[in-house]
Structures are given as structure tokens and as C-alpha cells.
Chain A
């Protein structure tokens, strides 16, 4: 940025009366300053109170836990000797979200590139609109659709995976039963986060400066090479942010998971077997019928989800910041 220096004349010793008169915008400035500062403070207070509430209740629960809160494979806070641990929930949440990301991010980036760089304009606008509409579908609808349509439909895919990829252990199906598994939940979550990842990536791809793309074109790059040389490097941090938004939704998704999964308190690497659980699904399923300690225990598991989300976001920011020197931002 070039700075412009001008020779301003020194201010007169006694300003003319006109300069001393208060400008009429002052009142507006003060009101706006108060409002914006107030909202900022309110946000911090809210965050702090949520964190305090979660920590206090979680602390109360964990101190009464007779098992190990991190490693116990059981959830029975109502027992004589209350035991509960989050290992199964952590596993289920992370695994289903990873499956969702692995499926959704490449497809979303592909759709976003198609809309921003390949599709003719007449097709791009309606397509973008439809993708945005998908984001507006309530998650319970996805859940019902998943349970009634996706689950039966996936049985074919599951037996195919079992037959040809069963040797990987992960895709070996050892239990009979409908496909109410973590794998199915992952696919459903992938469909649910697809719109948000797509529309954020698309926005970023559309912001690639024209001159960056022309630089590649003028060197004799094909359309795909332009995307590889100019669009994807520029959009890299945007894709990461978009994925994190999607991951945030996948980690916390409740209704759809609760509708599709047939929960069990077990960890199994056979992802096609029914069973497993996630933090949000577990809280939704058990909160109503829990006693005081049970609710505190569920809140403690919620705190772990909260921390997990914070860690994931922090990691994403680190990735983005590490290559800042090379980012499109300082072009």
C-alpha cells in the first residue's frame, strides 16, 4: 500500500467558531458505539457463562463417577455405584464425522468448481440455488429420510463392501441387522454438510482475482490447469474454513443421528455393524429420563464435545496461518 503524504497547513491557534460547533453526527456515533460495544461484551459474557455452567455441572458429575470418565465403556449414572465414560461417544462422534468429511469435502469442492468455473451461466445460478436450498432442510427431515430410505437402500452397498472390502476389517460386517450403523450415519452427515461446504467454497472460488486466472491462461493452461494453478491455491484456506463449518455441524448433529442409529454402548471398528453412539445423540436420547446426576453426566459429555469443537477450529486456524505468506491475500 502506498501511503500518500500531503502538506497540511498547521491548525490555526484559535479555531473559528464554526469548527468548534458540535457536529450533528455525534449522538449517532455514541449510540452506535454503545450498541456495538454492548453486543461485543454480551457475546463474551454468554460464552463465559456457558463455559462456566458446563464446567461446574461437569465437575460435579465427574467427582461422583466411580468409573473412569474418559475410558469407561459404560453409561449408568443411575446405578448404586454410578459409572459413566465417554470413550464410546468420542469414538462414534469422531468416526462418523471423519466418514462424513471424507465423502462430502471432495464432492462439495467438485460441485463448487463446477458451478463457479465449468457450468454455463444459465445452469450455474439455479444449481447454486438448489444447493443452498438443501441447507435449509431441517435435520429431522434428513433423519426420517435416512431411516426410511437410506438405511434400506444401503444394505446393498453394505453387502458389496463386506464382500469385496471385508478384508480391511473396517468394512467387514459381522452382525446381521439393518444398516443403522456409524457408516450410514457418516453418509447421512455427508449429505447434510454438503450444501454448506459447497456454498462457502463456491463463494471463495468466485473471488479468485481475474488476473490470477488470466496469468495461467496466458501461459497456455487448460481449464483444469487454471484451476490447479490459480483457483485451488487461492481457495485453499476457504476450503478449510468451509470444511470446518461442515465438521462443526457433523460433530453436533443430533436429530438425524438419533433417528438413524441404533445405539449401543460399544466400540467396534466394524463400521457396518449396527450400534455405536455420538455425544449429541446420547444426550438427546437420555436427557429426559435422567436423574440429577445423570443430567450432570450428560452435561459433562457435552463439555467434551464443546472442547473437541474448539480444538478442531483451532487446528484449522493453525493450518491456515502457517502458509499465510503464500496465500492469495497478500497478492
Chain B
């Protein structure tokens, strides 16, 4: 059930420091949207406002609106816990639960929701691991700890854990930056398959990666250190990388800064 994200006038703070200012954009369902930009431009912060993880950081707060289809994630009666159950997230460093087995890691989200039948659990775990292209590598050791896998396998385990609860949106915060090239390729292939079912937003430092996996690309920048990050432009990936409409984007893409 991929959903569209509509952001308007979003500003996020860390205590009194304004990290991103006045961001508006639309993220299309069943597509991959990549966020690129220099370090500190607020692209990760922005990503974390999309599942209300930003406010978990002490002092973090948000102004503005994020509509998921028609529902405002920052609406008055919205429970952030419920938001995070429909907007999944994959982190920069693989973070499987170290004390849980591979099976339990994937089942963790379902068990939290409590809405499953005992015999369904094994099916969902198998389906999710297959969905994350990990099933063949782990099917004989589902009861071994997840922390015994390689980094790339752990990251795919985290993806399996995130998609097991069938979220509407999947957020990925530099999911390949801690991985070797072969594992990176495996994750990128996987993203291509997952976009058939989910709305995917990926933050990446690797511009080739953005060009390879995404349909649309958003470029973020900041005027100076200490200034809030802003969205410079968002467009079809092909256009951003061939003929962007803003000079700063072209300068960044062609390696003149950042």
C-alpha cells in the first residue's frame, strides 16, 4: 500500500538551532526518491522528520506539515508510535537486535503490532527474508543471532525487518555507506525490486548511487555552516544529472564543491 508523501513548509530544530528550513516537496508512491547534498545540509534530518524520529533526539522539534496521502503525520491526535509503524526505516549502520535470532529480528515488528496469528509468523518471516534477497543465505540458521551475519547481510536483515510489517513508506538513511561494493550492489538491486511495492526515500552521499537507483532526486544545500539546510530543487533524476535548472545543483553534481 504505497502512499504519497506531501511535505509543506517543514522546518526542523535542534533546540534553538534551525537545521532545515521551509521544505516543501512531493514524493510519488511506488518510486524511489533520492536525497543528495553536502554533509550537514539536513537531508538526514529531513528524512527523520518523515517518520517522526527527529523528535526522539533531545531538543528536536518540527514545524510544518507532512501529509501521508491525506493524513497529517504532525496532526494533533497522531501518535508518533503509530506513524513509525507505517513508515519504516533502515539506518546507516546495520542495527539488528544483537540479542535476537535472525527469525526474531524479522518478527520483531509483527510482535510489537500484536496483529498476527502464530502460524502466520513463519510465513511472513520467510516472505520478508525472500523480499530482502536474504532467504537462501539464512534459511538454515534462522535461530542463530543476527549479529553473526556479514555487514551486507545484516543490512538486508534490517530491510527484511522493516518490510515485514508492510509499511506504506520505506526510508533509507545512507543504507550502503558502511558496506563493501558487492553488498552495495545487492542492496541497490533490492531497492529496484522493492519500489514495486513501497514508496522509497533514500539519502545517499554517493551520486552514482542516486543516479542508478532513483526516479527522482532532491538536492539539498546550505548557504553557510550554521545556516539551515534548504531544498534547492527536486526533479526527475535524469534531468538533475544532465540539465538541472539551478546552477548550484550543477556545481555539486559536477564536483565543483561538496
Contact = CB atoms under 8 A, between A and B. Distances in A.
Interface of A: 121, 209, 211-212, 214-222, 225, 229-230, 233-234, 236, 325-328, 330-331
A220 B89 CA distance: 10
Contacts of B85: 219-220
12 contacts: A212-B97, A214-B91, A215-B95, A215-B158, A218-B53, A219-B85, A220-B84, A220-B112, A234-B98, A325-B145, A326-B100, A331-B147
A219 B53 contact: no
Given A219-B84, A220-B84, A325-B148, 8 more contacts: A121-B58, A217-B53, A218-B51, A220-B83, A220-B165, A225-B112, A233-B100, A234-B98
A218 B84 contact: yes
Contacts of B60: none
Nearest to A225: B112
B96 A215 contact: yes
B38 interface: no
Report, as a range, how many residues of chain B touch the other chain: 20 to 34
B136 interface: no
Interface string B148-167: 10000000001001100100
Nearest to A213: B56
B16 interface: no
A234 B98 CA distance: 8
Interface of B: 51, 53, 56, 58, 81-85, 88-89, 91, 93, 95-100, 108-109, 112-113, 145, 147-148, 158, 161-162, 165
B95 A326 contact: no
A327 B108 CA distance: 17
A229 B81 contact: no
A236 B158 CA distance: 23
Contact of A216 (B97, B113, B145): B97
Given A211-B91, A214-B56, A220 B109 contact: yes
Contact of A234 (B83, B84, B96, B99): B99
B98 A212 contact: yes
Contacts of A220: 81-85, 109, 112-113, 165
A222 B80 CA distance: 9
B32 to A, nearest CB: 19
Contacts of A230: 97
Given A121-B58, A220-B84, A220-B112, A326 B99 contact: yes
Nearest to A218: B89
B51 to A, nearest CB: 7
Contacts of B91: 211, 214-215, 218
B112 A217 contact: no
B97 A233 contact: yes
B165 A219 contact: yes
Contacts of A212: 95, 97-98
Q: Which of B53, B95, B112, B113 has the most CB of A within 10 A?
A: B95
Closest 10 CB pairs of A and B: A220-B85, A233-B99, A331-B98, A218-B89, A220-B84, A211-B95, A215-B95, A219-B109, A326-B99, A328-B98
Nearest to B82: A220
A52 to B, nearest CB: 43
A214 B51 CA distance: 12
Contacts of A219: 84-85, 88, 108-109, 112, 161-162, 165
A199 to B, nearest CB: 22
A234 B100 CA distance: 11
